[in-house]
């Protein structure tokens, strides 16, 4: 067996209703003064009230930073850090989607370490200590609660990442009750995002692609493929929501150790330049990248095809990979998601610039089963347009 390393969150709690008992689960970790990092939309619908009330009732002081935007900027991170420093917080609680959790992760690191941010970009560069950190996802998508990665937007358009074990939280809490009000469009986009994580982790060319990640990716695909349509069309189905949260987390554990590749690399310019939500960007590119990869990855895709789509188990193996891609296209269509880049307002003349920007994501492109040149990226964008 090839040597590999596998890292994940120290402790994970999967329990509906856990937010109401947050002080018992997370209070001893977070300490007396908690910085809650979240977004304004979540606050508007009051999804923060249950965890905040639980902490305050137990005597914790809670400072709320609720200005996290999609594709969060370094300026937003700096504001969150300033809010925490102003009151001398003892721990950080991230509540929300991937953007809020990523800001919470880096804020906890920067509040506990004196390392400048510019020295922390990249893989394994963040060093020092961080404050205690608890993450509670309210979407079933990014798996950020179990990954050592945080993505921020630099200079208005470039997506830049920090990948370090320091960013793994002390505790991740999966409470399906926090996802019951998630709108169908967000449910579908984040769900497909999680499926992309599992697919790319399983097929990753990373030398750390390993049996544990592959096992987790396949179980994630079974859960996500089996429940995403129910979660989108019957959002208050708690069992479906629990399955989606668990599937997204397992996919997160998979790609945290066997990294994602070209779908994500090509999706990042769409978020940075046009502010297309990350999950939707992945969905728009997924099948086009998979078709590009077929010469190198057909056997790999055939192995996982029946996990989200059990009916494909009876498909002849030489045709199963193509049937898998077609099934993904059909699923995305049934979920009511946009089908083309032009459907989300991306102009054709922007495609060359996007291809050039995608080439900056070499940390991801090196994991793709088939090498991707700038010309290849442009061709994929044109097919998706």
Q: Can you give the pLDDT at residue 158?
A: 80
Q: Can you list the domains of the chain with their CATH numbers?
A: 12-178 (3.40.50.1970), 182-384 (1.20.1090.10)
Q: Can you give the pLDDT at residue 318?
A: 81
User: pLDDT tens-digit profile of 331-364?
Assistant: 999 999 999 999 999 999 999 999 999 999 998 9
Q: Are 266 and 381 in contact (CB under 8 A)?
A: yes
Global pTM value: 0.94
User: pLDDT tens-digit profile of 266-278?
Assistant: 999 998 889 899 9
User: pLDDT tens-digit profile of 186-244?
Assistant: 999 999 999 999 999 999 999 999 999 999 999 999 999 999 999 999 999 999 999 99
Q: Is the pLDDT of residue 95 over 90?
A: yes
User: pLDDT tens-digit profile of 141-180?
Assistant: 999 999 999 999 888 778 888 999 999 999 999 999 999 9
Sheet containing 33-37, strands listed edge to edge, beginning at the edge strand earlier in sequence: 12-14, 171-174, 133-137, 91-96, 33-37, 61-65
Calculate what percentage of the chain has a pLDDT beyond 70: 100
pLDDT tier, 77 (very low <50, low <70, confident <90, very high otherwise): very high
pLDDT tier, 2 (very low <50, low <70, confident <90, very high otherwise): confident
- DSSP string covering 138-177: SSSS--GGG-SEEEEEETTTEEEEEE-GGGS-SEEEE-GG
Q: Is 344 helix (H, G, I), strand (E, B) or coil?
A: helix
Matching residue, tokens 């090498």: 371
The two structure tokens encoding residue 264: 């994500």
Q: Can you give the pLDDT at residue 71?
A: 86
Total residue count of the chain as it appears in this document: 385
- Higher per-residue pLDDT: 379 or 124: 379
Q: Are 179 and 19 in contact (CB under 8 A)?
A: no
User: pLDDT tens-digit profile of 42-56?
Assistant: 999 999 999 999 999
């Amino acid at each position: 067996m090839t040597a590999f390393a596998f890292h994940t969150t120290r402790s994970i709690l999967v329990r509906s209703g856990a937010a109401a008992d947050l002080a018992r689960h997370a209070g001893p970790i977070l300490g007396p003064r908690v910085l809650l990092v979240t977004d304004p939309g979540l606050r508007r619908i009051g999804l923060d009230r249950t965890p905040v009330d639980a902490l305050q009732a137990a005597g914790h002081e809670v400072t709320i930073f609720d200005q996290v935007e999609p594709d969060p900027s370094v300026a937003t991170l700096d504001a969150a850090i300033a809010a925490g420093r102003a009151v001398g917080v003892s721990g950080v609680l991230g509540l929300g989607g991937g953007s809020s959790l990523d800001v919470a992760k880096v804020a906890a690191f920067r509040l506990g370490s004196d390392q400048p941010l510019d020295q922390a970009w990249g893989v394994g560069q963040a060093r020092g200590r961080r404050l205690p950190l608890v993450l509670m996802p309210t979407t079933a998508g990014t798996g950020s609660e179990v990954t050592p990665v945080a993505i921020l937007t630099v200079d208005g358009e470039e997506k830049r990442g920090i990948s370090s074990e320091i960013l793994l939280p002390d505790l991740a809490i999966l409470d399906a009750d926090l996802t019951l009000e998630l709108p169908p469009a967000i449910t579908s986009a984040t769900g497909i995002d999680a499926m992309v994580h599992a697919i790319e982790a399983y097929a990753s060319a990373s030398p750390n692609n390993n049996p544990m990640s592959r096992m987790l990716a396949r179980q994630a695909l079974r859960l996500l493929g089996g429940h995403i349509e129910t979660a989108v069309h019957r959002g208050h189905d708690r069992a479906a929501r629990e399955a989606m949260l668990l599937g997204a987390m397992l996919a997160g554990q998979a790609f945290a150790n066997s990294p994602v590749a070209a779908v994500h690399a090509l999706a990042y310019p769409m978020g940075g330049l046009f502010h297309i939500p990350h999950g939707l960007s992945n969905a728009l590119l997924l099948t086009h990248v998979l078709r590009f990869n077929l010469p190198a990855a057909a056997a790999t895709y055939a192995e996982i095809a029946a996990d989200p789509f059990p009916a494909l188990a009876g498909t002849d193996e030489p045709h199963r990979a193509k049937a898998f891609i077609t099934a993904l296209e059909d699923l995305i269509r049934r979920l009511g998601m946009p089908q083309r880049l032009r459907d989300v307002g991306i102009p054709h003349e922007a495609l060359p610039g996007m291809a050039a920007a995608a080439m900056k994501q070499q940390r991801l492109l090196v994991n793709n089963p088939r090498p991707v040149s700038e010309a290849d990226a442009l061709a994929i964008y044109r097919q998706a347009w």
